[in-house]
Amino acid sequence: MSSSVLLLWALSATSALAGAGISGTSVPSAGGGFAGPTEAGALGALSNPAAVARAVAPELLLDVAVFRRTVTTDLAAWDGPEVATTWAPQPSAGLAVSFGRLGLGAAFQAPTSRGGPQPPEGPQRFFTVDSTLQLVQGSLLAAYRVHDQVSIGAGLRVGQVSYLSEKRVDTGASFNQSFDLDPPLPVGDPLLEGRQRVGAMSGWSASWVAGVQWVLPSNAQIALSFEPPWRIWVAGPIEQEPSLDLNAAIAGEGRVRLGFPAHLTLGGRVPIGRVTLIGDVEYVGWARAGSATSEISGLTITSSDPLFDGILTSSGLAEADFLASSEGTTENELGWHDIVIPGLQAQWSATDTVDLRAGVWYAPTAVSDDHVTPSNLDFATITARLAGAVLVVPQLRTALTVEKLFVPTRHITTSPYSLDQTVDGVLAPSGNGDYALDVWRFGLSAQLFVR
């Protein structure tokens, strides 16, 4: 029992992170369609701190974007596809002020803001019924132009994570993993379908970021930035009901150390007349992020019914050893791997005040077929972007961005998961089936200048 319970909690945390956080997030879209690692000022501050030293005037960037994601899950072992559509906001902001060769700035973004409710009786319910994972990070940036063409910068990042999840659990399956019952408990029995809640966990941590931008004599640019991986502990209450029918629940305290990937971005741009070609290659270190450390403590089993609670107390089940043995620390790996995302954009400056931009990126999936489940889902994507910006007045520039992710359906036939056995500590139904993703992103940004 001990390991299974522990794994269940840990799995919930890690897989929620996976399902909500990994899919479709590899495109550097914070700041709107005109932001990027080679941009100067506030547009570049979100991805490269060296940009703040190249601000031509104090500027503030505000961007409000929203993702519309539709995930279609058609598990082979369950009837019918399940379609879930969620809207996820993704605000971001950047600030850049230069004092001669010195530049100071700040950045705010929510690089991970995923999750949402799913049908509680849907086939995915054993993976997720509801989840929210939100990372909000703010950065204080400083940069210096060591040369007219070269700027270097660094920043202090502070991140805050909020996390909750709910899913159904098959108590029969989890007991069978721990006890050699004869006969084993039935899997899929309605009485043994329980619920697991990881309630409102939150935590924060600090990290850093560094970058360099180099302007070549032909006005071409090269930019390089790096964000190290970081891990953030979140803590909060946990609860598991072994059965939705029974008046009993196991409750305790949980802590999960979530991992977020490293980013290494290399960008370049080449102006050719009114057209500028922009390219970037981003390395995302998902491998180190695809693990979570979970700690469980203070587990007790209680009932809201006084009589049943009395039975649990008098029988010693309320403080049973298996609960105590379920406490402790465990590590879970979800088999993610690092990816490299290349992208190419072209910007046409139609007038002195109007710019249009189009781009495309390809992101391979970070999750191999044998690890795909509804809660550990990722796709290979081709992202197409169209954006337009208008300098309304010298102090204000607005931009509109539309992105469409072209996502091939994943046909999973090699899922090793089964409620009859754990795989790498994961006890879940089979992930075999078809998964489809449809994503649109809409963004509106405003760039304010002081001049």
Partner 1 sequence: MIVALLQLAPVASATPGDVGLQAQITPAGFDFVSDQLADTEFSFGPTTITGSYDCYDTIEVTDFNLDVPIETVTLEPKSGTLALDVQLGQIRGTDMGLHGDSGWFDLCIDFDATLEYIELSDARLTGELAAEVVNDQLVLSFVEPPVLTGTFDSNIAWFPDDLVWAFMEGTVLDLVSGAIADQLPPIIEELTADGLLVGTFGNVPVVAFVDDVESTRDGLYAAVDIDLGGDGDARGKRLDLSSSDDSHLAVGLTEGMAEEALAAAWSEGLLSPDSPLTADLIASLLADLGLGDDLKVALSLGAPPSVNIDPDGIHLSLEQTKLTATNDGEPALELVADLTGLLEVSVAGGGIVLTAHEVELDVTELDASHLVDRDPENLQAFLEGWVVDAATAALGEMDVYQSHFEALGYVLRLDRTEMQDGGLVAWCTLFAADDPAVDREPPDTEVTATLSGSTVTAVFSATDDRPGDLLYSWRPRRGRLVAVDERDRGDGRHRARRPPDRGDVARRLVQRRPEPGGGDGVAGGPGGGGGEEGLRLRRRRPGERHARAGGLLAVLRPPAALSRGRQPRAAHHRASRWRPASNAGSRPSASACCRRNRAWASASSGRKNSWIKISSPGSNAASMARAWASVTSRPGRTTPSTTVTTRYRSTCPSLAIASSTQRPPNAARASSSRASARSSSMLAS
Nearest-angstrom CA–CA distance, 340 and 265:
10
Is 180 a residue that touches partner 1 (CB under 8 A)?
yes
Nearest-angstrom CA–CA distance, 315 and 320:
9
Answer for which of 56, 158, 181, 354 binds partner 1 (CB under 8 A) is: 181
Per-residue tokens: 283: 């390395």
Residues facing 237 on adjacent strands: 253
Nearer to partner 1, 3 or 398 (CB): 3
Residue 306: Cβ-neighbour burial (10 angstroms; 0-12, 13-18, 19+): exposed
Residue 370 in contact with residue 357, Cβ under 8 Å?
no
CB of 368 vs partner 1, minimal distance in Å: 30
Nearer to partner 1, 49 or 172 (CB): 172
Nearest-angstrom CA–CA distance, 212 and 149:
10
Nearest-angstrom CA–CA distance, 158 and 111:
13
Residue type at position 164: L
Is 192 a residue that touches partner 1 (CB under 8 A)?
yes
Is 3 a residue that touches partner 1 (CB under 8 A)?
yes
CA-wise closest residue to 109 among 96, 95, 91: 91
Range 300-319, binding partner 1 (CB under 8 A)? 304-305, 307-308, 310-311, 314-317
Is 121 a residue that touches partner 1 (CB under 8 A)?
no
Residue type at position 372: V
Query: Residue 119 half-sphere exposure, CB side, CA atoms within 13 Å?
Result: 13
Nearer to partner 1, 1 or 251 (CB): 1
Question: Residue count at the site for partner 1 (CB under 8 A)?
Answer: 37
Is 320 a residue that touches partner 1 (CB under 8 A)?
yes
Nearer to partner 1, 273 or 316 (CB): 316
Over the window 51 to 90, marking each residue x when it contacts partner 1 by CB under 8 A and - when it does not, the resulting string is: ----------------------------------------
Answer for which of 84, 185, 270, 356 binds partner 1 (CB under 8 A) is: 185
Is 214 a residue that touches partner 1 (CB under 8 A)?
no
Nearer to partner 1, 100 or 183 (CB): 183
Nearest-angstrom CA–CA distance, 17 and 24:
13
DSSP 129-184: SEEEEEEEEEEEEEEEEEETTEEEEEEEEEEEEEEEEEEEEEHHHHHHHH---SSP
Is 251 a residue that touches partner 1 (CB under 8 A)?
no
Is 325 a residue that touches partner 1 (CB under 8 A)?
yes
Over the window 268 to 307, marking each residue x when it contacts partner 1 by CB under 8 A and - when it does not, the resulting string is: ------------------------------------xx-x
Query: What three-state secondary structure class fits 307?
Result: helix
In total, the chain counts a number of residues equal to 451
DSSP 186-213: PTT-GGGEEEEEEEEEEEEEEEEEEEEE
Nearer to partner 1, 205 or 326 (CB): 326
Interface ranges with partner 1 (CB under 8 A)? 1-3, 175, 178-183, 185-186, 189-192, 243-247, 304-305, 307-308, 310-311, 314-317, 320-322, 324-325, 328
